Amino acid sequence: ERGEMAKSTQLIDNEVFRAYATYTAIVLLKMMLMSLITAYFRITRKAFVNPEDTASFGKGESAKKFLRTDPDVERVRRGHLNDLENIVPFVGIGLLYALSGPELSTALLHFRIFTGARICHTFAYLIPLPQPGRGLSWAVGYSVTFSMAYKVLKTAWLL
Amino acid sequence: ERGEMAKSTQLIDNEVFRAYATYTAIVLLKMMLMSLITAYFRITRKAFVNPEDTASFGKGESAKKFLRTDPDVERVRRGHLNDLENIVPFVGIGLLYALSGPELSTALLHFRIFTGARICHTFAYLIPLPQPGRGLSWAVGYSVTFSMAYKVLKTAWLL
Amino acid sequence: ERGEMAKSTQLIDNEVFRAYATYTAIVLLKMMLMSLITAYFRITRKAFVNPEDTASFGKGESAKKFLRTDPDVERVRRGHLNDLENIVPFVGIGLLYALSGPELSTALLHFRIFTGARICHTFAYLIPLPQPGRGLSWAVGYSVTFSMAYKVLKTAWLL
C-alpha cells in the first residue's frame, strides 16, 4: 500500500510534510472538539437554538423555554469561531510552507509553537484566564502563521 | 498540458487523490450553495443586516424596517456555519489522508459516507427534520473525519 | 535545503503551484488582517464581549458598560465571516485546480481576479460602498471558485 503511493508521490515520506500532517491533524481535532464541548454545554445548560432540538423536553411552552442563549455555550462558540479564523490560515499557509523546503528543525519549531499556543488559547478562553492570557496565546499563533507566510512568499513569489 | 504537469507531479494521476479531489469539490460547492440560499431568503423575507442593502427599498424609516432577523435566514446561516466547522476539518485531514496511502476502496468509503452525511445534514437542517435526524448526520460526518485523522496520525506521526 | 526538497517533491518548482501559493498566502493574510481590524474597533469603540477583557477598565458596573455590541465591530466581523465562507472554498478548490494541470496564464487569471475581488469586497464592506458594490465583488470571487471547481471535476472525476 505504501509502495504504490510511493510511486506516485513521496510527500508523506518527507519529514517536514510528516510533521505538518501530524500537527495539522492535532489542531483540526482540537477544533473539532469544540463541537462536542458546545453540545455538552447545550445539553447540561438546556440552552438550544433550534425548536426541533427541544422536542424531547415536551410540547409547546414547556419546551420553548429552552430556546435561549447561555453564557457558557456562547463562550465555547466564540472559541470555536476563533479557531476557525486562526486554524484555517495555519492549515493553508502551513501546507505551502511545508512544500517550500524549510529546515526540519525550523518547521517543527513553527508547528509546535502554533499548536501549543492554540491549546493555551482554548484553556484561556474556557476557564477563563484573566487577560492578557488569551490575547497573548492568540498573538503567538498569529505570529507563527505570519512567519510561515513570509517564507512561502519569499520562496514561491509569482504574481 | 497534462504532460508538463506529469513531469512535476503525478498527484492528479493517483486514483485516491482523484477521488479526494472529486468529493472535496462537491462538499465545498455544497457549502458555497448555502450563500445563495441565504441570499434567497434575505431577499424573499426582506430581512437584511447592512443598511446599504436596503437602500433600494426607499429611504429612512421605510427601509429601516427591513433591517431585522428572520428565523429562516438564521437557520440557513447556522447550517452554513456548521458546514464550515465540519467541512474545513474534512478538507484538511482528507488531503493528508489521501496522501497517506489508503486503499482506494477504503478511501472511497470514507469520502462517500462523509459527503452523503453532509448532504443529509443540510436537508435535515433546512426542512427541518425532527431530531435525531440532524444530530445523526452530523455524527456520521464527524466520525468519518475522525477515522481519517487516526490513519493520518498512524502513518505520518512525527512530533 | 531546496535540493533535498526537490528530491521528494517538485511541487514548489511548478509555476502554477507557485502562483497558487502566492495568491493563497495573500488572501489568507488579508483574512487574518480582519482580526486586527476587529481588535482595533473593539478597543477604540470600547465594545467587548468577554467580561475578562474589560477588567482593565475598572471593576463591577464601571467595566460592565463596555460589554456591548458596536455597529462598526459587527460590520468587520461580518466581513471576516464572509471571508471564511469564500476564501476556504478558494484555498481548497484552488489547490486541486493548481494540481489539475491548467495553463499558467489561465490559472493566473483565476487567482488574480479572485484576489482582486476579495480585496474590493473588504473595502466595499468596511467603507461601506453603496450596493451593488459589495454584491458584485462577492459574485466575481464566487464565480472564479466555481470555474476552478468545474475544471477540477472535469479532470479528476472519480466518484
DSSP symbol at B100: T
pLDDT at residue C80, as a whole number: 98
**Interacting residues of A15 by C-beta distance below 8 A, sequence separation 6+:** A104, B158
Give CA–CA dist C78/B48, Å, rounded: 12
Low-confidence ranges of chain C (pLDDT < 70): 1-10
> Which stretch of DSSP H or E encloses residue A125?
helix A104-126
Range of the domain at A17: 1-158
pLDDT at residue B3, as a whole number: 41
| pLDDT band with cut points at 50, 70 and 90 for residue A10 | low
Provide, as residue numbers in chain C, all residues whose Cβ is less than 8 Å from the Cβ of A100: 5, 12, 21
What are the phi and psi torsion angles at B67 (to 5°)? Answer: -85, 85
Give CA–CA dist B36/B126, Å, rounded: 13
pLDDT over 70 (residue A106):
yes
What does the pLDDT look like over B57-102, one tens digit per residue?
Answer: 877 777 889 999 999 999 999 999 999 999 999 999 999 999 999 9
Give the CA dihedral C36, C37, C39, C41, nearest 10 degrees: 160
Q: What is the grid cell recorded at B93?
A: 485531514
pLDDT at residue C8, as a whole number: 39
Cis peptide before A89 (omega within 30 of 0): no
| CB < 8 Å from C in window 111-150 of A | 128-131, 134, 142, 145-146, 149
Pairwise CB contact (< 8 Å): A93 & C24:
yes
Any B CB within 8 A of A105 CB: no
Give CA–CA dist C68/C71, Å, rounded: 10
Closest-approach residue (CA) in chain A for C54: A131
Give CA–CA dist C19/C15, Å, rounded: 6
Give CA–CA dist B13/B10, Å, rounded: 5
| pLDDT band with cut points at 50, 70 and 90 for residue A60 | confident
| CB < 8 Å from A in window 45-104 of B | 75, 78, 84-86, 88-89, 92-93, 95-96, 99-103
Percent of chain B with pLDDT over 70: 94
pLDDT at residue C12, as a whole number: 77
Q: Into how many domains does chain A fold?
A: 1
Residue with cell 464541548: A37
Residue C139 distance to chain A (closest CA, Å):
22
Higher pLDDT, A57 or A129: A129
User: Which long-range contacts does B134-143 make (Cβ < 8 Å, 24+ apart)?
Assistant: B134/A50, B134/A52, B138/B82, B138/B86, B140/B113, B140/B114, B141/B86, B141/B90, B141/B113, B141/B114, B141/B117, B142/A32, B142/A35, B142/B86
Give CA–CA dist C93/C147, Å, rounded: 10
Any B CB within 8 A of A13 CB: no
pLDDT in tens, chain B (159 residues): 344 333 435 677 799 999 999 999 999 999 999 999 999 999 999 999 999 999 888 777 778 899 999 999 999 999 999 999 999 999 999 999 999 999 999 999 999 999 999 999 999 999 999 999 999 999 999 999 999 999 999 999 999
**Euclidean distance between the first and the last CA atom of chain A, given in angstroms as a whole number:** 38
Three-state SS at C102: coil
| CB < 8 Å from C in window 22-51 of B | 22, 24-26, 28-29, 31-32, 34-35, 49-50
Q: What is the grid cell recorded at A102?
A: 524549510
What are the phi and psi torsion angles at A61 (to 5°)? Answer: -60, -35
Residue B124 distance to chain C (closest CA, Å):
21
Q: What is the grid cell recorded at C137?
A: 465583488
CB B81 within 8 A of CB A80: no
Pairwise CB contact (< 8 Å): B22 & C153:
yes
pTM: 0.93
Query: What's the CATH number where C34 sits?
Result: 1.20.120.550
pLDDT at residue C130, as a whole number: 94
Three-state SS at B99: coil
Provide, as residue numbers in chain C, all residues whose Cβ is less than 8 Å from the Cβ of B26: 153
Provide, as residue numbers in chain B, all residues whose Cβ is less than 8 Å from the Cβ of A24: 92-93, 96
| pLDDT band with cut points at 50, 70 and 90 for residue A59 | confident
Three-state SS at B67: strand
CB B4 within 8 A of CB C101: yes
